[in-house]
A and B are shown apart, each in its own frame.
Chain A
Amino acid sequence: MAASLARLNGAAPVHHARRVGDRRTARAVHYAMLCPTLLLLLAFLVIPAIYVGWLSFNTSTYGQDVKFVGVANYAQLFADPIFWRAFCNTFFVVNGIVYAELLLGLGLALLLSGPLPGKALIIAVILAPYAITESSGIVMWRYMFEPDVGMVSQFLGRLGLAQLDWSTNPVQTLLLASTIAIWHHLPFTFLILYAALTTVPRDLLEAAEIDGATRWQQFRFITLRLIMPAILIAVLFRYIFAIRTFAEVWLLTEGGPARLSEVLAIYLYREMFKYHQFGMASATGLFMLVMSLVIALPYLRRMYREVMRGA
């Protein structure tokens, strides 16, 4: 009907055709511009991921032919108590790191979003760990907490307090590893939340205050809701990165003593680089990928809803 009317008044179909053509041209250009990125993703993520998936159904090591074994690697993986211990350790470490970072990052961002003397210096101090190479930072912490001779150990000793028993107690190993991870990655969460807080309109908060809202109500019903997408992004990214936690535990104890503080990334590392069991390592890697997806999905869904609500 619209097309007939357009045909009747002459000029309209030309405009319509041009609009359709423009849209088509724009799409082709978009795809062309996306192509390099997509090709890179394909080459460095998708194809290797497919290869890892295929390898997880085979046995493979240096100097030997690849042999199809079906789900044997997964069966071996799920039957290994060390794997489940590593899974549990990873679960607790990851959740501890992510939520501690979120609370700390949010607290600091809220504190610094208002007027505060020496704000620039405090922000610089918070961001400083990000400028330190991860391995250097971890080794520094390790030396500080070295039994008998570490600075912190000696200080605690002088105060008559017990030293942190991280080299023999797996719970304390994981606590120290988590603390180091939080120290090192806090700037990431802080920056995202701090940036989000600066976008919250002041007049909205002032209007709420005039309407009689308490500070807590202003935070809960205005600030928190407005920065929720940023919180979701911070949590999602940190979850995905934290699942791969490796260096903190490896450089402290290599997962010891007796593999009691091992996390999944170390389990994978041993299978891959120590035992050269590439099939088992691939199965572990794929399991970690699925784990990341399972964790990410609810957050992604929530983010999608938030975005759609705003659209």
Chain B
Amino acid sequence: MNSRRDALKALGGALAALAASPFTSGLAWAAERLTIIGHAVHKAAATTGAGGDVTAAWRAKQGTDIEWLTFGVEAANERAFKEASLADGNADIVFILDRYTGPQYAGLFEDLRPWQAKDPIPDFAEIPAGMVAAHTFGGKLTAIPFRHATHGLHYNTEFFAEKGVSAPPRTIEEAVALAEKLTYKRADGVQVYGLVMNFDDPATPIDWIRGFGGDFITSDYKIVIDQPAAVRGVAALVDLYKKGVLPKNSMNLKTEDVTTFMQQGRGAMTNNPFNRYINYNDPKASKYPGKIAVVALPLAIDGKPMPAKTSVWAMAIPRNSRNKERAWSLVKYLSQPDSTVAETLNGNGPVRPSAYEDAKVKALIPYAAAEKQALGSARLVVPGFANSAKAMDIFIEELGNAMLGTKDPQTAMSDVKKRVQPLLPA
């Protein structure tokens, strides 16, 4: 009998210990935790920098912790779709980039119009309609814009001075000429390339094609990449590549590689998002801190502002989320005007133009005015459609053929049209 009583006592003690253990308290805590899938820049914009931790007040008020799961651009989108398509999801908010989404994924996410009607984001109308449209499919608002990444022209002022150039290029023709001039070997033997671009997707080359008056796919889904203006832009890039103005391994370069080129002083100019200014001038990583400036892209061939590439990251709530109310509460909080300003101070591209007018932003973000100017004429890389990822890959593949010289620019771009046409929405 004693041993049985002892055993029961031991069992009772064990259960009590289990109830008080970090494991079970962890389970209780897990119920008040919001999981976000995104890129490291989203976490940084929301939590780190001159703007402080934007989420701190919300977390304290809601008694909810946030778990950030961050991945690379492609992986973040892939993971978001995967989590959202499960029967029982673990993600409450996912960040989606416009060129990775499409109408086929709309069913995975909450339609946010009813949420907005019930508990509206203040002054929602300020967010540009184009950004909202990038995440609206069949009238369904699938995500709320959080961040834009708009291209500017970054240039190394020391190299410009070395070559006797006093100002950044004002026109696309000037940019081409300067890129050639700024391709040289420095006294220390380092080869400087006049222009450095990443060719992992069309985001960077599309600026140059648009600068020559061309485009890839218009917002009404017409392919115009085979038209003379676009082919002229492609031919200009091919020419720069053949002359060695672009590095030989350009087709292999990714965003991170371009950052390394600029930080190491191997590139004189690049067109990349404005906020790369922070990375290029980072004293811990760059050999040229404070010497890499950024301005709006030069004027296009028609004398009008060059339509800079922009991308719109937006926050979606998966339909399988278990915390939709809380998720919407955070989406709303991160989207309100004062949060947007704080996020801008943390290096985010604000989706509210009024953020650029904030005194602190003007004082701390040197490129704020130029970015605002560029945003006025910016365009998405491609409009959202089901096969956009494949279409972009085809473009990069054929551009590679043109640069390698296996096809002339016109043939390569005509082949893009032939191959992409069947992928477009009817």
Bound pair (A, B): yes
Across-interface contacts of A258 in B (CB, < 8 A): 251, 397-398, 400-401, 404, 406
Across-interface contacts of A61 in B (CB, < 8 A): 104
Q: Is B82 an interface residue (CB 8 A)?
A: yes
Q: Is B130 an interface residue (CB 8 A)?
A: no
Q: Is A257 a contact partner of B108 (Cβ separation < 8 A)?
A: no
Across-interface contacts of A62 in B (CB, < 8 A): 81-82, 84-85, 104-105, 108
| Prevailing SS type, chain A contact patch | loop
- Complex partner residue of A275 from B85, B266, B389, B398, CB under 8 angstroms: B389
Q: Is B191 an interface residue (CB 8 A)?
A: yes
* Chain B 240-260 interface 0/1 with A at a Cβ cutoff of 8 Å (1 = within): 000000011101100000000
Q: Is B191 a contact partner of A276 (Cβ separation < 8 A)?
A: no
* Chain B 390-403 interface 0/1 with A at a Cβ cutoff of 8 Å (1 = within): 10010001101101
Q: Is B338 an interface residue (CB 8 A)?
A: no
Count of inter-chain pairs, beta carbons less than 8 A: 72
Min CB gap B66→A, angstroms: 25
Q: Is B32 an interface residue (CB 8 A)?
A: no
| Prevailing SS type, chain B contact patch | helix
Q: Is B251 a contact partner of A147 (Cβ separation < 8 A)?
A: no
Q: Is A257 a contact partner of B393 (Cβ separation < 8 A)?
A: no
Q: Is B414 an interface residue (CB 8 A)?
A: no
Q: Is A253 an interface residue (CB 8 A)?
A: yes
Q: Is A203 an interface residue (CB 8 A)?
A: no
Q: Is B251 a contact partner of A168 (Cβ separation < 8 A)?
A: yes
Across-interface contacts of A253 in B (CB, < 8 A): 252
Min CB gap A100→B, angstroms: 25
- A62-B84, A63-B85, A63-B104 given; A167·B252 CB < 8 A: yes
Min CB gap A49→B, angstroms: 21
- A168-B404, A256-B400, A257-B404 given; A63·B106 CB < 8 A: yes
Q: Is A63 a contact partner of B107 (Cβ separation < 8 A)?
A: yes
A32, B251: Cα distance in complex, Å: 57
Across-interface contacts of A256 in B (CB, < 8 A): 251-252, 400
Q: Is A302 an interface residue (CB 8 A)?
A: no
Across-interface contacts of A244 in B (CB, < 8 A): none
A160, B327: Cα distance in complex, Å: 61
Contacting residues of chain B (370-424) with chain A, CB-CB under 8 angstroms? 387, 389-390, 393, 397-398, 400-401, 403-404, 406
Min CB gap B219→A, angstroms: 22
Across-interface contacts of B191 in A (CB, < 8 A): 148
Q: Is B126 an interface residue (CB 8 A)?
A: no
Min CB gap B251→A, angstroms: 4
Q: Is B105 a contact partner of A63 (Cβ separation < 8 A)?
A: yes
Across-interface contacts of B78 in A (CB, < 8 A): 273, 276
Interface size on B, residues (CB 8 A): 30
Q: Is B393 a contact partner of A270 (Cβ separation < 8 A)?
A: yes
A168, B249: Cα distance in complex, Å: 6
- Complex partner residue of B397 from A165, A168, A259, A275, CB under 8 angstroms: A259
CB-nearest residue of chain B to A258: B400
- Complex partner residue of B247 from A63, A147, A273, A275, CB under 8 angstroms: A147
A256, B106: Cα distance in complex, Å: 32
Min CB gap A50→B, angstroms: 21
Q: Is B74 an interface residue (CB 8 A)?
A: yes
Min CB gap A197→B, angstroms: 42
Min CB gap B70→A, angstroms: 18
Across-interface contacts of B387 in A (CB, < 8 A): 275
- A62-B85, A63-B104, A276-B81 given; A147·B398 CB < 8 A: no
- Complex partner residue of B81 from A63, A167, A168, A259, CB under 8 angstroms: A63
CB-nearest residue of chain B to A173: B252
Across-interface contacts of B251 in A (CB, < 8 A): 167-168, 256-258
Across-interface contacts of B82 in A (CB, < 8 A): 62
Min CB gap A26→B, angstroms: 40
A274, B73: Cα distance in complex, Å: 11
CB-nearest residue of chain B to A169: B404
28 CB < 8 A contacts A-B: A62-B81, A62-B82, A63-B84, A63-B107, A146-B249, A147-B247, A147-B249, A149-B266, A167-B248, A168-B404, A252-B252, A253-B252, A254-B252, A256-B251, A257-B251, A258-B251, A258-B398, A258-B400, A258-B401, A258-B404, A258-B406, A259-B400, A270-B393, A273-B78, A274-B74, A275-B387, A276-B81, A276-B389
B interface residues (Cβ-Cβ under 8 A, vs A) = 74, 78, 81-82, 84-85, 104-108, 191, 200, 247-249, 251-252, 266, 387, 389-390, 393, 397-398, 400-401, 403-404, 406
- In the complex, the 10 A-B pairs of residues with the closest C-beta atoms, listed nearest first: A258-B400, A167-B249, A257-B251, A62-B81, A63-B108, A167-B252, A257-B400, A62-B85, A63-B107, A258-B401
Q: 6 other contacts beyond A63-B84, A259-B400, A276-B389, with CB at 8 A cut-off?
A: A62-B105, A64-B107, A168-B252, A256-B251, A257-B251, A258-B404
